[in-house]
Structure 1
């Protein structure tokens, strides 16, 4: 093989090497772009879901002397707008007024949840004396 042919072969090998190197870099960039696209699509789905989520909240306050009630007490809460399906209910006690002479025993349970309402059951047991309770609640759904 002549020197000029060998020289041309070397140049072609260089060109081929650089082309393969560039192809590898482009493939790597395409993989990164595809991953970014998947991540963005996931975020878009999350945002769409969040946009359709509606929440309603309220407060329940029961105090002897102000309200007439006995334990157990069931509070039915009606939503201002109906949900498409039963929402998720979150609640917490922010006030619990009990006698210092007896043990404090208090329990809350969600009795039922529908698209239009839910009920909380509040109760004490044994010799506990509870004068009042305050709860906040939040219902979130579509």
Structure 2
């Protein structure tokens, strides 16, 4: 992929340094976007931790409510037993009673006593139903709140996942960002020698934009001639000196050759 980008930009008449500068900008952009995503992920992780704590708290509340309901049911059973005793004493037990003790006669008539018992039973059942309804409403409310929190977090995660997938496509070619930024790469350029400014022979000094760690491999190629057509063409371009920071190319003509100018491309690559 890196070679592809280099070739692509080279075709657009950009130097290797320009290509790597553009790649460095792309890398910096990806790093910035990844930092933002890491921040969002940390925030979402914090929200999920908070939601987990709320779920634990809700579970504790439901356990407490369940214990209260169990206690209420036990109390209702005890009360029901007492009601059965009162009903038996009021003569309301179905079938033939085996109790030889005559029933207690409450003030007034037995019908009034039975009505009191029945009213108490109806009231207790109503209270039991109301308690059951309150518990169901509480559970439904908590479950709804938890589902809403989970839905919000899920939407955020889906959105982040989409952004991460998009970045991954760009990032796949830049997995070794530090290595790309620190690794040496080739440098190239074009130079020209004009008689009107620099008569032959002339030694041209090329200063590299970034020094190499070691003496690089250096090559040149003649790409332009401007000579008098009535004389033979004679030109010598020789690399006289090469170091980690610069290279010197000596250009010369001889005999009766008349030169107006010459140009050459060069490239230096790390060894």
**Normalising by the residue count of structure 2, what TM-score does the alignment of the two structures yield?**
0.32
Distance in structure 2 (CA, Å) of the matches to 1:64 and 1:126: 16
Structure that is richer in strand per residue: 1
Give the corresponding residue for 1:97.
226
Q: CA RMSD in A?
A: 1.8
Q: How far did residue 52 of structure 1 move? A: 4.2
Distance in structure 1 (CA, Å) of the matches to 2:246 and 2:184: 17
Q: Quick check: 1:59 aligned with 2:215?
A: no
Q: How far did residue 61 of structure 1 move? A: 1.6
Assess if the C-alpha contact under 8 Å between 2:188 and 2:267 holds in 1.
yes
User: Compared with structure 1, are the counterparts of its residues 75 and 110 closer, same or farther at alpha carbon in structure 2 (3 Å cutoff)?
Assistant: same
Aligned length, in residue pairs: 91
Give the corresponding residue for 1:73.
202
Query: Structure 1: any 5+ residue segments left out of the alignment?
Result: 1-47
Distance in structure 2 (CA, Å) of the matches to 1:73 and 1:140: 24
Assess if the C-alpha contact under 8 Å between 2:188 and 2:266 holds in 1.
yes
Query: Structure 2: any 5+ residue segments left out of the alignment?
Result: 1-178
Distance in structure 2 (CA, Å) of the matches to 1:82 and 1:118: 11
Distance in structure 2 (CA, Å) of the matches to 1:112 and 1:62: 18
Q: Quick check: 1:82 aligned with 2:82?
A: no
Distance in structure 1 (CA, Å) of the matches to 2:261 and 2:193: 5
